[in-house]
Structure 1
Amino acid sequence: MKVLVVGANGQIGKMIVDKLQDSDKHSVRAMVRKPEQANALDMKDVEACLTDLEGPIEAIQKALEGMDAVVFSAGSGGKTGYDKTMSIDLDGAVKVMDAAKEVGIDRFIMVSAMNSDDRAAWDNEEMKPYNIAKYYADRCLKQSGLTYTILRPGLLKNDPATGKIEVAENLPGGAISREDVAEVVVASLDNESTFNKAFDLLNGDSPIDEALKNL
């Protein structure tokens, strides 16, 4: 499966790219917006494309040409304003969905966030615009007709992967390593148990394949 990773320069995005590059089942194209990011990927023999989520949808369509699936792990980051959050985390995500449909790609994996689906949990005013963006991006994906998987990880940590997780439609608060999130993304690509599912994701006691099989 040929996979475009949107947000390939993010912390989770980089891990997804590395895991796809090492995979014997998939190949990867990394979408980034800065030439230096593309150059760093080229040095690792990773195919890169320069495309800005705030640019025209036609450029995103071009980035998607020849792909079988797309992983959206882009984010505006904590140092930008609310305008960038809406432009990238919401409108950018929807543009990628629309572009995927235009070029005939059906498989779409979204890296979202725990509690993005629950307005009652948006008690942090600073995070509220991010939660709103994720809420509506996820909702648009569910209604898009694409074969989606929406991962809602808990508190993200930089610990090494454990290979063991807990997944469910709703889970209490908890944490998960970024590397385990990346592992779940790759494992979900062709796992039909994850098709058209949205679920919370934490570190737990079950091996990844077993946990996903029981969704």
Structure 2
Amino acid sequence: MRIVIAGGHGQIALRLERLLAARGDEVAGIIRAPGQADDLRAAGAEPVVLDLESASPEEVEACLRGADAAVFAAGAGPGSGTARKETVDKGAAVLFADAAVRAGVRRFLVVSSMGADPAHAGDEVFDVYLRAKGAADAYVTRQEALDWTVLRPGSLTDEPGTGLVTLAAHTGRGPVSRDDVAAVLAELVESSATAGLTLELIAGSTPVAVAVKAVAGG
């Protein structure tokens, strides 16, 4: 498979790139800073330098042409202000989804956040983030030309992955390692059996492959 990841230098994206490359997939990661390219190459991914905040729809479509799947894992980051929540967490996600439709890429994964909701109340930066993520998710889930899955992890940790998770439409709040989020994404991207599902993810007791198969009805 050829898989294109937006936000290719993110902590989850780099882990996902290593997993996909190790199993023989062709992976490209979209990055904003040229200085991040060597990290992607080390992970086994092809770096594609493109700023999703300023790129044209045609430029993003060109990155996606010929891909079997697309993963939106970009984010403005915890140190950014409210404006970039709108331009990255929402705007770039919408742009990437539109480009995937134009490029004919059906399988589309979104790394969202637990609690994402376009109607979320509050004026803090994190509240704006949850509204932006929720609005992006809502936009993606309206795209009939995409076999989309939205993944909403709980609080992220850098603990080593256990390979054991709880994955469901509603899990309740809890932590999950970035390793395990990447492992779940690697399973999800391989099949469209979870298309049309928004899933929450926290640490648990079910092996990743079994958890994904269960929510897919397998």
TM-score of the superposed pair, with normalisation by structure 1: 0.93
Residues 1:27 and 2:59 aligned together: no
The CA deviation string for residues 21-64 of structure 1, in whole angstroms up to 9 with x for no partner, is 1113x220111111111243345553111111112222111111
Check whether the contact 2:90–2:133 (CA below 8 A) recurs between aligned residues.
Answer: yes
Structure 1 runs, 4 residues or longer, greater than 6 Å off? none
CA drift at 1:171: 2.0
CA drift at 1:117: 3.7
Unaligned runs of 5+ in 1: none
Unaligned runs of 5+ in 2: none
Give me the whole-angstrom Cα distance separating, in 2, the residues matched to 1:193 and 1:44.
Answer: 27
CA drift at 1:135: 0.6
Give me the whole-angstrom Cα distance separating, in 2, the residues matched to 1:70 and 1:204.
Answer: 27
Which residue does the alignment assign to 1:147? 147
Which residue does the alignment assign to 2:129? 130
CA drift at 1:78: 1.2
1:32-47 mapped onto 2 (5 Å cutoff) = 32-42=31-41, 46-47=45-46
Check whether the contact 1:61–1:100 (CA below 8 A) recurs between aligned residues.
Answer: yes
Which residue does the alignment assign to 1:171? 171
Deviates more, 1:36-45 or 1:204-213: 36-45
1:64-103 mapped onto 2 (5 Å cutoff) = 64-103=64-103
Percent of residue pairs bearing the same amino acid type: 33
Paired letter, 1:49: V
Which residue does the alignment assign to 2:108? 108
Give me the whole-angstrom Cα distance separating, in 1, the residues matched to 2:70 and 2:165.
Answer: 23
Paired letter, 1:164: L
Paired letter, 2:90: L
User: Secondary structure at the residue paired with 1:214?
Assistant: helix
RMSD between superposed Cα atoms in Å? 1.7
Give me the whole-angstrom Cα distance separating, in 1, the residues matched to 2:44 and 2:67.
Answer: 18
Give me the whole-angstrom Cα distance separating, in 1, the residues matched to 2:7 and 2:72.
Answer: 7
Distance verdict in 2 for CA 1:43–1:135, change over 3 Å: closer
Give me the whole-angstrom Cα distance separating, in 2, the residues matched to 1:176 and 1:191.
Answer: 22
The CA deviation string for residues 92-143 of structure 1, in whole angstroms up to 9 with x for no partner, is 00000000111111110000011114856x5683311100111110001110
CA drift at 1:192: 3.8
Give me the whole-angstrom Cα distance separating, in 2, the residues matched to 1:86 and 1:95.
Answer: 12
